[in-house]
Amino acid sequence: MFKSMLVILSAMICFSAQAAVILQYHHVSASTPAITSVTPEQFREQMQYLAENDFIVKPLSQVVDAIKAEQAIPDKTVVITFDDGYRSIAKTAHPILKEYGFPYTLFVSIEPIKAKYREMMSWEELVLLSKEGAEIANHSWAHEHLIRKLEGETQEKWLARVEENILKTEREIALATGQNHKMLAYPYGEYNQAIESMLARHGFIGLGQQSGAAGHYSSLTALPRFPVAGVYADLTSLKVKLHSLNMPVLSQNMSDPELKNGHWRPELKVTLDISDIYPHQMMCYIQGQGAKAPLWLSGNEFSIRAELDLPVGRSRYNCTVPSKSRTGYYWFSQAWVRSASE
């Protein structure tokens, strides 16, 4: 009886730890801004590492379906995504990915591509990539800051405008490629509760730019991704992220990542399933303010709060803790955004 319980507990822990690591790229080029780029040499090195170390590279849509259906996600599952639709993806990244047989998802904004903005791939290249297996998904019509209201715009008119923006983009992608994945990568990683609710109403999932592994504890309107660029493009640090686990968050008090009304030091309270973690080995990081140990409110609930006001723009709280049973760290990140007008 006791042995059976241990087997069941072990299986539950294994299932809860299952997650996919979603990588976020922009440029694959040595001549574009480092903060949003990996060099072709770095990208090939990373893909070679995945191939040689038995990682399973899956299309994003398959991982989303598994999370929705609460199906098992194989260990060492990785998803490759690109934002914006830069020419270097078509010219450099796509051939490397094709060589390794790796699927990927390309989040595109329609206007910059059709207007032939500098460094953007052509619309014809986009269609060709879709025919060669790339998933084409939504990144808004013109890469807007979706949470920003126009001057004098009411809440209702703002949300209706954002809604039509997303639906129009999805229609254009479907018309050109036949694909209709209903997956939106938030431009700049900015979103709020109203946008999340609107996406859910239309059956969309949303992806941010906060870090962490995506799994059965993740919100489908705020799936995390690990940005790979600049200082985060080094393979040594990327290896740690590739082995990260989905933090077993049972509940949290955060309902809206958009900060308002002078609440610039938000307190985040999180309740965890601690069966596979060492709570007091957890460490959190406040972006721009450094490391900070969480305050444990009970055996499985902690809180974390910035000591200084979060600045205008985007910020994050990141928390990590080692697993008891396997290699890797549970990883959780909460995104915040403070508008300049607040």
273: CATH = 2.60.40.10
Give yes or no: residues 73 and 119 share one domain: yes
Structural domains of the chain, count: 2
Please determine, for residue 259, whether its predicted confidence score (pLDDT) is greater than 80: yes
pLDDT at 138 over 60: yes
- Give the per-residue pLDDT at 246: 96
Residues in contact with 90: Cβ distance below 8 Å, sequence separation at least 6, in sequence order: 121, 125, 126, 128, 129
- In terms of C-beta distances under 8 Å and separation of at least 24 residues, what long-range contacts does 263-268 make, across chains too? 264/306, 264/309, 264/310, 264/338, 265/305, 265/306, 265/307, 265/308, 265/309, 265/310, 266/305, 266/306, 266/310, 266/336, 267/303, 267/304, 267/305, 268/303, 268/304, 268/305, 268/317, 268/334
**125 in the same domain as 260:** no
**Same domain (yes/no): 266, 236:** no
Sign of CA dihedral 243, 216, 332, 232: positive
Mean pLDDT for the stretch of residues 144-169: 97
pLDDT at position 48 is 98
Let me know whether 54 and 127 are in one domain.
Answer: yes
Give the C-alpha distances (Å, rounded to integers) separating 26 from 43, 116, 167. 11, 17, 23
The domain in which residue 224 lies consists of 2-244
227 shares a domain with 81? yes
Determine the Cα–Cα distance for residues 123 and 62; give it in Å rounded to an integer. 25
Q: Last residue of a domain, which of 222, 244, 266?
A: 244
pLDDT at 231 over 60: yes
Cβ neighbours of residue 316 under 8 Å, at least 6 residues apart?
Answer: 210, 211, 287, 333, 334, 335, 336
Q: Are residues 80 and 178 in the same domain?
A: yes
Judged by phi (left if over 0) then psi (alpha if -120 to 50, else beta), residue 116 lies in left
Boundary residue ending a domain (212, 244, 276)? 244
Does 313 share its domain with 296? yes
Tens digit of each residue's pLDDT (9 = 90 or more) over 322-333 = 999 998 999 999
Closest to 268 in 3D by CA, of 285, 280, 281? 285
The verdict on 115 and 239 lying in the same domain is yes
Domain co-membership, 196 together with 113: yes
Residue-wise pLDDT tens digits, 198-214: 999 999 999 999 999 99
pLDDT greater than 60 at residue 15: no
Are 65 and 145 in a shared domain?
A: yes
Q: What's the CATH number where 161 sits?
A: 3.20.20.370
Mean pLDDT, to the nearest integer, of 77-92? 98
How would residue 292 be classed by pLDDT, with cut points 50, 70 and 90? very high
Pair 255, 237 in one domain: no
Question: What whole-number distance in Å separates Cα of residue 132 and Cα of residue 38?
Answer: 23
Please check whether residues 127 and 199 belong to one and the same domain. yes
| Chosen domain end from 223, 244, 265 | 244
The pLDDT of residue 173 is above 90: yes
The predicted model scores a pTM of: 0.94
**What pLDDT does 341 receive?**
73
pLDDT value, residue 11: 41
Give 170-179 contacts, CB < 8 A, sequence gap 24+: 170/138, 172/110, 173/108, 173/110, 173/136, 173/137, 173/138, 176/123, 176/126, 176/127, 176/130, 176/136, 177/126, 177/127, 177/130, 177/131, 177/136, 178/130, 179/130, 179/135, 179/136, 179/137
